[in-house]
Structure 1
Amino acid sequence: MILAPATPDDLPLLLAFREQAASWLSKLGTDQWSRPYPADRLLATIEAGTVFMVRDGKATAATITLTSDAEEGLWSEEELREPSMFVNKLTVFREYAGQNLGGRLLDWAGDRAFRSSAKWLRLDAWTTNDALQRYYLRQGFEHVRTVREGSAINGGPRVSGWLAQREALPAQHGFVDRAPTPAPIIG
């Protein structure tokens, strides 16, 4: 499988991918990703070079967004001084579920963060999705805290504020990595 940056042509696929994931999550009893993601925001992250796709021949198996930009209001000033990379929107197409693609993508992200001189690979997860939180703990992440207030949307409670991190380390992920060499991160 090849891991490469997403292109603007991937936008419709990524939007459909998210809808598929939201439907699957709904069947599991969570409202995660139930609100449509704005296409213009997704396109901006693609154009910024932070969205990556796992390709299996002509099929797309998974996607991950990896950035050095933290979501506002989640991490403390002290934490933000530590060089870190942040995982967002990790999604595996249902046809590829059960093959540890998510774990391999997290290893790839940790390796990329390490090569960028980051100390941490960090993420936030849906506050009420206990199964997802347990998954990240099994992947070696440690829970930092849960932020419940400060949502930018209507001033309501934050829905994705379960914070976790693991040390950025070199890893064997098994992908043919076609992503450009990461730039160093300065904390």
Structure 2
Amino acid sequence: MIIENATPTDLPKLLAFRQEAAGWLTGLGTDQWQRPYPADKLLATIQEGAVFMVRDGAATAATITLIPEAEDGLWSERELTEPSMFINKLTVARTHAGQDLGGRLLDWAGDRAFRSGAMWLRLDAWTTNSKLQSYYLRHGFSHVRTVTEGGAVNGGPRVSGWLAQRPTAPSGAHGLTDHAGPIHSLVGSADINR
């Protein structure tokens, strides 16, 4: 399997991935991802080069977004001074479930973040999805805290505020052939060669 940057032509596939995942999550008893994600926001993230696709031959097996900016209101000022990369929208196609592809993507993201100069790989997960939280804990993340206030709508309740992090580390064990674009350094202006 290869991992590469998503392109604007992947937008329909990414929106379908989210819809498929929302249906699966509903079956597990969680309300995660029930609101459609804005296509224009996703397209902007693709154009920034922050969305990655895992391809298995002609099939798209998974996706992950890896960005250097934290969502407002989640991390403390001190935490924001620590070089970090943030993952979100990690989604594995149901056709590729059960192969720990999500764990391999977390290792890939940790390696890419390490190469960028980040010391932390961070995420915010759905506050009511305890199975997802356990998944991240099993993959080496430590729970930092849960933020429940200051959501996007009028500062109301936050639905994705379970914060976790793990140190970045080099890893070739993810087994993905990396065709993603250059890694941009968080600590300088130069790209880091792999």
Tell me the TM-score normalised to structure 1 length: 0.98
Unaligned runs of 5+ in 2: 189-194
How far did residue 183 of structure 1 move?
A: 1.1
One-letter amino acid matched to 1:51: V
Q: Which runs of 5+ in 1 are unaligned?
A: none
In 2, Cα distance between equivalents of 1:180 and 1:11: 18
Where do 1:1-187 residues align within 5 Å?
Answer: 1-172=1-172, 173-186=174-187
* Matched positions, count: 187
Greater shift, 147-156 or 36-45, is seen at 147-156
1:163, 1:123 → 2: CA distance? 6
SS in 2 for 1:64: strand
Match of 1:144, SS state, is: strand
SS at match of 1:104: helix
SS at match of 1:143: strand
Which amino acid is 2:182 matched to?
T
3-state secondary structure, aligned to 1:16: helix
Q: What's the RMSD between the two structures over aligned residues? A: 0.9
Residue type of the alignment partner of 1:88: N
The structural deviation recorded for 1:154 is: 3.1
Identical pairs, percent:
72
Q: What secondary structure does 1:159 align onto?
A: coil
Residues in 1 aligned to 2:17 and 2:59: alpha-carbon distance in whole angstroms: 12
Deviation of residue 181 (structure 1)? 2.4
